[in-house]
Structure 1
Amino acid sequence: MKRSNVRLRTRAALALVAGTLLAGTAFSGTAAGHGGGLRAAAGSLSVPTWLFLLTGGGVVGASFLLASFVTDRAFIRAVHGWRRVADAPVATATTLTRVVSVAALVGIIAVGFLGPETMFRNAAILAVWVGWWAGYVATVYLVGNSWPALNPWRAVAEWVPTLDYEYPERLGAWPSVAGLLALVWLEVVSPLADDPRLLAWVVVGYSVATLAGAFVFGPDSWFGSVDPVARLFRYYGRVAPLQRAESGGLELRPPGAALTDPLPDDGRDGVAFVVAILWVTTYDGFVGTPVWVAIAESLVGLGVPPVVLYPAALLAGYALFVGAWWLASRLARGTADTYLTPEAIARRFAASLLPIAAGYHLAHFLGLFVTLSPALVAALSNPLSPPINPSVVALPGWFGMLAVAFVLLGHLLAVWGAHASAYEVFPGRLQAVRSQYPFVVVMVLYTMTSLWIVSAPSAAPPFV
């Protein structure tokens, strides 16, 4: 009887995956892949969009089946248990790097106010969006989280006395969730990437709020719970091969090995932040597609105020992503036949979403970094009087395929992370495999959404 139930559940789960893939046929047309960056075009793919999306979703589904058939608990433990620890003068290096980062922060604010008003010539614009957000963030999940050694706001907060009031535990990580959503909304609806003066004022405002919070609650509480940037890098760093060892040095592990470790914030707030990382990158790309343009114009035509449009879409999409993850967690409890609560399952598997966000970030911003790196170097060489016509790199036609590859690689690593976590949580092999069915379906949907966005033609977001 039990074998019969297992077979029925297995067939139902496979049917659910197949149904998810077939749902992609609702998309029509031809895929036009482009490199990352601010929707910079880089060639096209002469294949139907539905076939393109089904292929990507099928790769993720097939990777789950392959991992389930050819791996066992001993193999996974051998892979995730491999590490090389090296002593490194982290504390000494941190002091030096923080001094440099504080000087860089002051320089960005000064150049934002005093430098050229042209976006491609202003070193503050290029340093923040090309050097930091596109380039540096990628090093966090590709190499390791060096932000604790670079964070200029934490450096200042630790150099001055603080009040060290007790941070309200009931707030948890929720302020950082709200902060991340607010920062991305501001980036989308305002000309932060075009107006260096506005960018400088926003950096000043963020600095004042951050330092005030750290002064009241102390650096550890503020940057550990509230600051969205510090938490973003801390979570992204779990994807990277370099991790901070318990001894204080550095350890080298296989990429994604830290995804099986429990989240540092063991609650709904930690899960909510992980999903927010995934959603805000998706949202940033979605508002630059023709589909969003058509939706936005239709809603405004029906009487929806433009000022309400973007925050409503941000919150609605986030609710959809969070809801999908919690639904998968509830379904996983049934497919795994476990006494674990859906909340415990959601917390344990949430970190597996981080490679998806990292892969999409790389797909979305690598083109921007490559294209404008020469302009960044030229602006930094003479911040107050950079070249009038800065050089840029023209992306080759095949560059768009890299965006597709990064999305798929991120999702494949996410499937592996969930697979390894399942073996950590559940004692039986079949139970571990069955627990992943709902999560694989959600990941396939995330994959197809990401691929659709990176393959969609670019369009300017309306009403902003």
Structure 2
Amino acid sequence: MNRLPALILAVSLSLVPQTLLAHSFGEPYKLPMPYWMYIYGALAALILSFLVLACFYQSEPQATPWRKVIQLPRWLRHRAVTLALKLSLLMLFVLAVTTGLVGNQDSYRNFNMTFFWIVFALGGCYLSALIGDWYRYLSPWRTLSDGINILAKGFNQGRLRYPRRLAYWPALVLYMTFISLELFGETRPFSLSIILLAYTLINLLAVWLVGAQAWFRYGEFFAVMFRLTAMMSPLTFSRRPEDQSRRIHIVLRAPFSGLIDQRVEHPSLLVFLLFMLSSTAFDGLRETSLWFGLFWKDPLNILTPLIGEPPIYAYVWLRPWYLFYEFITLLLSPLIYLGLFVGFLWLGKLLTRSAIPLGQLAMQFGYSLLPIALVYHITHYYTLLLSQGIKIRALASDPFAWGWNLFGNAITGRIPILPDMGAVWNSQVWLILLGHIASVYLAHVEALRRFPSARQAALSQLPMLMLMVIFTAAGLWILAQPLQG
């Protein structure tokens, strides 16, 4: 066997985490100071915030978090506006599927890849964090099922009662499938269209079986993910009970206040939100040289005795096994985070000698991890919105990549639009820090509600502070790795 080509390929790939920057970083960036100094500074701020809360915030908040109803112009509150938005988003999905099926298969020039992966999946998530659960009203799959229900009365009612034991497990399975396709699927425009068609059929079949209300609450994973993200938004949508017109009102509230005094309703939902955190962390980890070397350099000498040579020399035939190894790690990642979370809760329970069952504590404190999941997601992916997502207007001029120029701003190739790397890194550090401080605050408020004294509440949060310190250090370390080359 000629090892030279495989060795050259393997060595080249082993350098990738050192020379290419993750998630649309386009050029190496030298940190102005060692990354461990950023970590120490962030940890100091985190510990200081905990001490301030423990010393000066010792009673359960009695007042309802600040809220203010925003009165929108009458024309914006009209049902016709909502209907127009619903149909517009649905038509964009129809266009995305069509362009993938018959358009140019260049992933950067076809409309559907940028629209779905970046504008919808990423931008839609961040939009939920800004303005609330917009997806509840504009979901293209809900719009489609409602349209079918007009033609076939009773379609949305379902044929079976949704099994309570299923809870959010279907959404979790679909979410894991989505992330697996994103990381390992190597999707192109055509395959993405097939995936979207298959997902549409799954949704319609599920609605026909169990009804729209149950499915879009428990099973459709975008609805679950965007709803969880929207709980942290400074805006929320509501309908006043006294308003007979059932018009939607917008309520302005304190950021993250939607998570206060909320309880995770089922273990499946807890695993779902932990997967929001762990999948993003895994995506960053797998781009580091440490992760690459753990398999291919075999530092623990596990693979070398089995195959008779270092794994790096057998890159070609070991590559599928490496992908399988990554896939299994991705699926197990929320369980690893669950073990850490429950373990540190158990330490807090031990310190306070609390009689509250561990499972109940996990449900009560689960939402305190959502801010971390959100900032991890933003710091890892928001540059994609700046580098590729911003091109969606130009791609709309030539959605099939056939050389059209409908709006006079079509592009003919991949044009990188990159942000300043220093600004990106600094924003990532601040976002990671703010997200973890928000989680410390939410956990502290929850502890004050669940424990009989401020002292017990503070003691219970010492292990949780350790967990936040670990998450902060790990998050910053993963972000800094591509910047060290």
1:342 Cα deviation from its structure 2 partner: 0.9
Structure 1 partner of 2:121: 133
Structure 2 partner of 1:343: 359
Structure 2 partner of 1:428: 453
Q: How does 1:305-320 map to 2 (within 5 A)?
A: 305-320=321-336
1:338 Cα deviation from its structure 2 partner: 2.3
Name the CA distance, whole Å, in 1 between partners of 2:361 and 2:25. Answer: 36
Name the CA distance, whole Å, in 2 between partners of 1:41 and 1:64. Answer: 37
Bigger mean CA deviation after superposition, 104-113 or 283-292: 283-292
Matched letter for residue 279 of structure 1: S
* Shift in CA distance, 120/294, structure 1 to aligned 2, threshold 3 Å: same
Bigger mean CA deviation after superposition, 418-427 or 201-210: 418-427
* Shift in CA distance, 298/168, structure 1 to aligned 2, threshold 3 Å: farther
1:187 Cα deviation from its structure 2 partner: 1.0
Matched letter for residue 214 of structure 1: V
Q: 2:465 aligns with which of 416, 424, 440?
A: 440
Q: How does 1:130-279 map to 2 (within 5 A)?
A: 130-159=118-147, 160=149, 161-162=155-156, 163-192=158-187, 195-245=188-238, 247=240, 249-263=249-263, 265-279=264-278
1:447 Cα deviation from its structure 2 partner: 1.2
Per-residue CA distance 1:429-458 (angstroms, 9 max, x = gap): 112222212211111111111111111117
Q: In terms of Rg, which structure is larger? A: 2
1:284 Cα deviation from its structure 2 partner: 1.8
8 Å CA contact 2:31, 2:483 repeated in 1: no
Name the CA distance, whole Å, in 1 between partners of 2:95 and 2:389. Answer: 19
For these two proteins, the number of residue pairs brought into alignment is: 424
TM-score of the pair, normalised by structure 2:
0.81
* Shift in CA distance, 95/336, structure 1 to aligned 2, threshold 3 Å: farther
1:242 Cα deviation from its structure 2 partner: 1.0
Q: 2:430 aligns with which of 401, 405, 413?
A: 405
Q: Does the residue aligned with 2:104 lie in a helix, a strand or coil?
A: coil
* Shift in CA distance, 71/186, structure 1 to aligned 2, threshold 3 Å: same
Q: Does the residue aligned with 2:425 lie in a helix, a strand or coil?
A: helix
Name the CA distance, whole Å, in 2 between partners of 1:365 and 1:166. Answer: 38
TM-score of the pair, normalised by structure 1:
0.84
Name the CA distance, whole Å, in 2 between partners of 1:145 and 1:290. Answer: 38
8 Å CA contact 2:232, 2:371 repeated in 1: yes
8 Å CA contact 2:233, 2:256 repeated in 1: yes
Q: Does the residue aligned with 2:388 lie in a helix, a strand or coil?
A: helix
Q: How does 1:79-158 map to 2 (within 5 A)?
A: 81-86=65-70, 89=77, 93-158=81-146
Q: How does 1:286-301 map to 2 (within 5 A)?
A: 286-298=285-297
Name the CA distance, whole Å, in 2 between partners of 1:90 and 1:234. Answer: 23
Identity of aligned residues (%): 23
Q: Does the residue aligned with 2:109 lie in a helix, a strand or coil?
A: coil
Q: Does the residue aligned with 2:165 lie in a helix, a strand or coil?
A: helix
Q: How does 1:60-75 map to 2 (within 5 A)?
A: 60-73=46-59
1:116 Cα deviation from its structure 2 partner: 2.2
* Shift in CA distance, 94/426, structure 1 to aligned 2, threshold 3 Å: farther
8 Å CA contact 1:33, 1:401 repeated in 2: no
* Shift in CA distance, 140/285, structure 1 to aligned 2, threshold 3 Å: same
Alignment pair present for 1:393 and 2:417: yes
Name the CA distance, whole Å, in 1 between partners of 2:289 and 2:454. Answer: 45
Structure 2 partner of 1:11: none
1:57 Cα deviation from its structure 2 partner: 2.7
* Shift in CA distance, 82/32, structure 1 to aligned 2, threshold 3 Å: farther
* Shift in CA distance, 396/414, structure 1 to aligned 2, threshold 3 Å: same
* Shift in CA distance, 218/57, structure 1 to aligned 2, threshold 3 Å: same
Name the CA distance, whole Å, in 2 between partners of 1:59 and 1:191. Answer: 40
1:42 Cα deviation from its structure 2 partner: 6.3
Per-residue CA distance 1:305-356 (angstroms, 9 max, x = gap): 2342122211333221110111122222222332211111111111111111
8 Å CA contact 2:28, 2:483 repeated in 1: no
Q: Does the residue aligned with 1:169 lie in a helix, a strand or coil?
A: coil
Matched letter for residue 102 of structure 1: L
Structure 2 partner of 1:457: 482
* Shift in CA distance, 371/412, structure 1 to aligned 2, threshold 3 Å: same
Q: Does the residue aligned with 1:261 lie in a helix, a strand or coil?
A: coil
Structure 2 partner of 1:375: 391
1:32 Cα deviation from its structure 2 partner: 9.5
8 Å CA contact 1:84, 1:252 repeated in 2: yes
Structure 1 partner of 2:439: 414
1:392 Cα deviation from its structure 2 partner: 3.2
Name the CA distance, whole Å, in 1 between partners of 2:286 and 2:458. Answer: 36
Name the CA distance, whole Å, in 2 between partners of 1:53 and 1:155. Answer: 46
Per-residue CA distance 1:222-278 (angstroms, 9 max, x = gap): 111112111111111111111233625322110001111323x52222221121111
Q: Does the residue aligned with 1:292 lie in a helix, a strand or coil?
A: helix
* Shift in CA distance, 330/93, structure 1 to aligned 2, threshold 3 Å: farther
1:357 Cα deviation from its structure 2 partner: 1.0
Q: C-alpha root-mean-square deviation of aligned residues, in Å?
A: 2.6
Structure 1 partner of 2:244: none
Name the CA distance, whole Å, in 2 between partners of 1:72 and 1:83. Answer: 23
Q: Does the residue aligned with 2:217 lie in a helix, a strand or coil?
A: helix
1:413 Cα deviation from its structure 2 partner: 1.1
Name the CA distance, whole Å, in 2 between partners of 1:357 and 1:85. Answer: 28
Q: Does the residue aligned with 1:73 lie in a helix, a strand or coil?
A: coil
Name the CA distance, whole Å, in 2 between partners of 1:68 and 1:367. Answer: 36
Name the CA distance, whole Å, in 2 between partners of 1:428 and 1:179. Answer: 42
* Shift in CA distance, 170/201, structure 1 to aligned 2, threshold 3 Å: same
1:59 Cα deviation from its structure 2 partner: 2.4
* Shift in CA distance, 338/47, structure 1 to aligned 2, threshold 3 Å: same
Matched letter for residue 363 of structure 1: T
Gaps of 5+ in 2: 1-16, 150-154, 241-247, 308-317, 404-409
Per-residue CA distance 1:88-135 (angstroms, 9 max, x = gap): 638654333221121111011011122222222111111122212232
Name the CA distance, whole Å, in 1 between partners of 2:385 and 2:465. Answer: 32
Q: Does the residue aligned with 1:392 lie in a helix, a strand or coil?
A: coil
Bigger mean CA deviation after superposition, 110-119 or 272-281: 110-119
Q: 1:54 aligns with which of 10, 26, 40?
A: 40
